[in-house]
């Protein structure tokens, strides 16, 4: 079965494969569960490390940001480097400048920007699989539906790993490679940006190729991409298309628009902006798009720190929950042959995992706060007992004879 392979669609075909295996006995299932317990123990231990160190990192970062805001020196309309700011933490806003345009000789692309990215995609076969298990005649059978579709992909897909390679063979390499070129010297006013600040200029926009003509007769421009095919509407497996993206526009009077304005907080070292190490131990090397005041820059950093902290808290709790679930799964395996008991045990184990993971996570977070905020740590430790108290309160009291 196949359909017309338009740029957004591709050829599709599929087949179904059924495999069977003997239904595992209780000993085999116990052995598999034991392997899961080892993984669970590892996740359980790792969750403590993530939760505890995350609190120290978050408090350390917040303290460093407060320290930086109290010391930062705003620079306004700088034309020359002021030696009085040598070694100090400074804040400035201004347009990006580069010493020379970035150039791709293969396609005749030239642009004044901090970065120029050439993204290459190849039209290839992609394999998808969807499996389901069922029992039949005392065996466990797995029915897998394999679907093959042709799509544009930026990485080479090895068709040798396909279940059915015949008719779905991909080339082993691309004719053109993806690459990102970075300007060697980037400045704002008279101050040059460090490599770390240049790395933060990462908001890419696609370069329009409407007015450009390909240098090669076998290359066609279509929808802002160079297609290495005569008919981009009917690509074949192995065809390549190339798109260009830029970040940090820096040219004056550029047809793409004005130079990008950024706001930076870093240490001034002669005519360079380099990392600033705070007394708390963190390093401040900040760059944001747009003209922002020093206060706004540090507020954004505090918001970013809070988002990262909560994300790691959630990740640590989830890791602990999965660890406890894997460690207690052996109980579910033991009663697996009794459907009613199995469902009750499964529900009880989930409630147990949620309660213990929540309590231990709160206790671990409290331990991380103990050194920095003792009062909050005590209150949080008290809150950690709530899930266990609520769980015990739901258990009916034993009837006395």
Q: How far is it, in rounded angstroms, from Cα 26 to Cα 24?
A: 7
In this predicted model, what pLDDT tens digit does every residue of 268-290 receive, in sequence order? Answer: 999 999 999 999 889 999 999 99
Query: What is the crossing angle of helices 386-393 and 339-369, to 10°?
Result: 150
Q: Lowest mean pLDDT: which of 224-233, 239-248, 336-345? A: 336-345
- What's the rounded mean pLDDT across residues 57-86? 92
- pLDDT, position 87: 95
Quote the pLDDT of residue 16.
85
Mean pLDDT of 142-159: 94
| CA gyration radius, the chain | 30
Task: Indicate the SS3 state at residue 13.
Answer: strand
Pairing of strands 89-98, 205-206: unpaired
What's the mean per-residue pLDDT of the chain?
85
Q: Indicate the pLDDT class of residue 372, thresholds 50, 70 and 90.
A: low
- To the nearest whole percent, how much of the chain has pLDDT over 90? 56
CA distances to 117, 148, 243 from 173, in Å: 19, 20, 18
Q: Is residue 284 within 8 Å of 68, Cβ to Cβ?
A: yes
pLDDT (mean) for 87-114: 94
Contacts 24+ apart (CB under 8 A), 332-335: 333/26, 333/29, 333/30, 333/33, 334/30
- Give the Cα separation of 176 and 121 in Å (integer): 9
User: Which one, of 223, 220, 197, lies nearest residue 94 by Cα?
Assistant: 197
Yes or no: say if 145 and 129 are a contact pair by the CB < 8 Å rule.
yes
Q: Say if CB 49 and CB 319 are below 8 A apart.
A: no
Q: Which range is least confidently modeled, 6-15, 69-78, 111-120? A: 6-15
pLDDT tens figures, 184-221: 999 999 999 999 999 999 999 999 987 776 666 678 88
Q: pLDDT at residue 394 above 80?
A: no
Residue 326: closest CA among 358, 351, 350: 350
* Confidence check: pLDDT of 39 > 80: yes
Minimum mean pLDDT among 129-143, 157-171, 250-264: which range?
129-143
How many Å apart are CA 107 and CA 242, to the nearest integer?
A: 9
Whether residue 401 is predicted with pLDDT greater than 50 in this model: the reply is: no
The C-alpha atoms of residue 99 and residue 102 are separated, in whole angstroms, by: 10
What phi and psi values does residue 381 have, to the nearest 5 degrees? -65, -40
User: DSSP string spanning 247-292?
Assistant: EEE--TTBTTBSPPEEEEEEEEETTEEE-EE-TTS-EE-EEEES--
Lowest mean pLDDT among 167-171, 183-187, 333-337: 333-337
34/305 Cα distance (integer angstroms): 39
pTM of the model: 0.80
Find, among 12, 15, 21, the residue nearest to 130 by Cα.
15
For residue 38, list its beta bridge partners.
none
* Largest CA-CA distance found in the chain, in angstroms, rounded: 95
Tell me the per-residue pLDDT of 295-320, one tens digit each, with 9 for 90 and over.
Answer: 999 999 999 999 999 999 999 999 99
Higher pLDDT, 21 or 9: 21
Alpha carbon distance 191, 262 (integer Å): 13
């Amino acid at each position: 079965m196949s359909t017309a392979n338009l740029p957004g669609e591709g050829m599709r075909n599929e087949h179904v494969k059924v495999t069977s295996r003997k239904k595992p006995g209780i000993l085999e299932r116990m052995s598999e569960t034991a392997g899961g317990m080892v993984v669970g123990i590892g996740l359980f231990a790792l969750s403590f490390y993530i939760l505890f160190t995350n609190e120290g990192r978050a408090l350390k970062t917040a303290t460093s940001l407060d320290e930086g805001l109290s010391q930062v020196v705003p620079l306004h309309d700088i034309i020359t480097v002021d030696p009085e700011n040598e070694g100090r933490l400074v804040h400035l806003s201004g347009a990006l400048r580069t010493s020379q345009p970035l150039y791709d000789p293969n396609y005749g692309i030239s642009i004044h920007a901090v970065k120029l990215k050439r993204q290459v995609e190849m039209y290839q076969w992609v394999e998808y699989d969807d499996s389901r298990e069922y029992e039949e005649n005392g065996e466990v059978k797995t029915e897998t539906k394999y679907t093959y579709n042709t799509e544009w992909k930026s990485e080479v897909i090895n068709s040798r790993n396909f279940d059915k390679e015949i008719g779905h063979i991909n080339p082993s390499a691309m004719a053109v490679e993806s690459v990102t070129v970075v300007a060697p010297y980037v400045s704002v006013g008279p101050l040059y940006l460090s490599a770390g600040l240049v790395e933060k200029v990462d908001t890419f926009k696609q370069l329009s190729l409407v007015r450009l003509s390909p240098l090669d007769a076998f290359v066609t421009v279509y929808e802002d991409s160079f297609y290495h095919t005569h008919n981009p509407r009917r690509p074949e497996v192995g065809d390549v298309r190339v798109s260009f993206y830029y970040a940090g526009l820096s040219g004056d009077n550029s047809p793409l628009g004005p130079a990008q304005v950024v706001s930076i907080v870093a240490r001034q070292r002669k005519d360079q902006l380099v990392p600033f190490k705070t007394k708390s131990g963190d390093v401040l090397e900040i760059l944001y798009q747009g003209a922002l005041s020093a206060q706004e820059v540090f507020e954004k950093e505090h918001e970013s720190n809070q988002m990262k902290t909560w994300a790691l808290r959630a990740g640590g709790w989830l890791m602990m929950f999965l660890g406890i679930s894997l460690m207690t799964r052996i109980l579910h395996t033991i009663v697996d042959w009794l459907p009613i008991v199995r469902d009750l045990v499964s529900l009880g184990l989930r409630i147990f995992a949620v309660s213990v993971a929540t309590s231990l996570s709160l206790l671990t977070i409290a331990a991380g706060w103990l050194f920095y905020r003792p009062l909050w740590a005590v209150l949080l430790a008290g809150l950690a007992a709530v899930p266990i108290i609520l769980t015990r309160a739901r258990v009916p009291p034993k009837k006395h004879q």
